[in-house]
Amino acid sequence: MSKKYLYGLILCLVSVLSWGGMFPIMTPALKIMDPFYFTLLRYGSVAIIFAVILFFVEGINAFRTEGHVIRLWLFGTSAFAGFSFLVFLGQQIAGQSGSIIASVMMAIQPLLGVLVGWVYRGKKPTIVALFSMIIAAVGVFMVVTKGHISILLSGHNTVLAVIFILLGALCWVIYTAGGADFPEWSILRYSTLTSILGVCSVIIVLTIATIFGWLQIPTFSQVAGVQNALVYMITLAGVIAVFAWNMGNRIIGPINGILFMNLVPITSFVITIINGYKVSTFEILGCLITISALVGNNIYNRYATKLKGIRAK
| Rounded mean pLDDT, 166-176 | 89
Burial of 311: CB neighbours in 10 Å, binned 0-12, 13-18, 19+:
exposed
| Rounded mean pLDDT, 203-212 | 97
Q: What is the pTM of this model?
A: 0.84
Q: How far apart are CA 13 and CA 257, in angstroms?
A: 9
313 assigned to some structural domain: no
232 assigned to some structural domain: yes
User: Could you tell me the sign of the dihedral formed by the alpha carbons of 215, 221, 223, 225, in that order?
Assistant: negative
Question: Does residue 313 register a pLDDT over 70?
Answer: no
91 assigned to some structural domain: yes
The structural domain count of the chain equals 1
Question: Does residue 1 register a pLDDT over 70?
Answer: no
For residue range 83-119, what is the model confidence (pLDDT) as tens digits? Answer: 999 999 999 988 877 888 888 888 788 788 888 888 8
Q: Which amino acid is at 300?
A: Y
190 assigned to some structural domain: yes
67 assigned to some structural domain: yes
How far CA 1 is from CA of 7, 8, 13, 90, 244, in Å, comes to 10, 11, 16, 41, 19
- Flag the least confident range among 10-24, 157-171, 216-230, 236-250: 236-250
Percent of the chain with pLDDT over 70: 94
For residue range 267-308, what is the model confidence (pLDDT) as tens digits? Answer: 888 888 888 888 888 888 988 888 888 888 878 877 777 776
Q: How far apart are CA 130 and CA 99, in angstroms?
A: 26
| Rounded mean pLDDT, 30-47 | 94
**In this structure, what DSSP letter does residue 258 have?**
G
Name the residue range of residue 45's domain. 3-179+186-308
